[in-house]
Structures are given as C-alpha cells and as structure tokens.
C-alpha cells in the first residue's frame, strides 16, 4: 500500500496528479508549501515524494536538496523524489538536486503512472518529452 506525498500549491495540478496516482490502496498526502515537506516526511516517511518545481517560497529543487541533506545526516530515511518540471531545460535542476525521476508539463496520465510505478519499484524515470533526438537514446536520459 504505497504512501505518496505531493508538494504543490496549484490546485489544478494537484487534481491532475491525484487522478493519475491514486489507486486502490494508495495514500496521497498533500502539502502546499515546500517548507512542510521535511516535517511531513519526519512524521511518516512516504514511499515517494512528488515535488512541483515551483512551490511558493521553497521550490522543488530546494526541497529535494533538503531531503537529501536530511537523509545524509541520518535524520531521515531515503525517499525517491519525482519532480514535475515546467520545461525541458529544468532537467538540469532535477539532476543537480538528485531527483530519481522527473516529468515535464503538461502531464498525461500514462507518463504519470509509469513514472510513479518506476520510482516505487526502485527504478528511475527520466521523461524524454522535448528532448533533442541525440539525447533520446542517451543512457543519461533513459527511462526506468
């Protein structure tokens, strides 16, 4: 029974992600502010954290880095992170902060379900939407 934590302040995006993620037995917890993610993870470590890149005053990159630092200090367990990016150039940020997966907006239910399934299984998911043809076959941008 997977527990997913979503950090997003856009109600429409929350609804889209909930529709694609929630299945029987899945718990979806949401927070509206990036600063609340670490506390929510300390209360109950989820199986997956989904971060919108743009969240109020502490965005997805800062939150992901904070999760990595807390885990590195032994105060928090490791948790896979799926970042929801606004555009293809933001992949640099997702890589830089150590996210295991990313999706590029606009989202669709197939990519969303595939990414969640991959990360819950311990794999990675690197969305190739908008990638140049020479990157599409690159191991650095491989799906799963």
- Local structure of 59: helix, strand or coil: coil
β-pair partners for 6: 30, 50
pTM of the model: 0.92
Closest to 99 (Cα-Cα) out of 116, 113, 82, 79:
82
* Mean pLDDT along residues 7-14: 96
pLDDT-derived band at 82, boundaries 50, 70, 90: very high
Backbone angles phi, psi at 55, to 5 degrees: -125, 105
Helices (H) and strands (E) in the chain, counts: 6, 6
pLDDT in tens, 96-117: 999 999 999 999 999 999 999 9
pLDDT-derived band at 39, boundaries 50, 70, 90: very high
Q: Report all structural domains of the chain as residue ranges with CATH numbers, in order of start.
A: 3-123 (3.40.50.2300)
């Amino acid at each position: 029974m997977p527990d997913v934590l979503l950090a997003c302040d856009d109600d429409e995006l929350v609804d889209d992600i909930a529709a694609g993620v929630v299945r029987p037995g899945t718990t979806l917890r949401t927070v509206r502010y990036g600063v609340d993610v670490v506390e929510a993870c300390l209360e109950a470590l989820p199986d997956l954290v989904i971060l919108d890149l743009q969240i109020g005053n502490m965005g997805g990159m800062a939150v992901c880095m904070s999760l990595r630092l807390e885990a590195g200090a032994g105060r928090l367990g490791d948790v896979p992170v799926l970042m929801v990016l606004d555009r293809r150039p933001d992949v640099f940020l997702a890589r830089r902060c150590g996210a295991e997966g990313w999706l590029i907006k606009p989202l669709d239910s197939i990519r969303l379900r595939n990414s969640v399934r991959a990360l819950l299984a311990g794999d990675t998911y690197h969305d190739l939407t908008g990638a140049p043809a020479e990157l599409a076959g690159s191991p650095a941008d491989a799906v799963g």
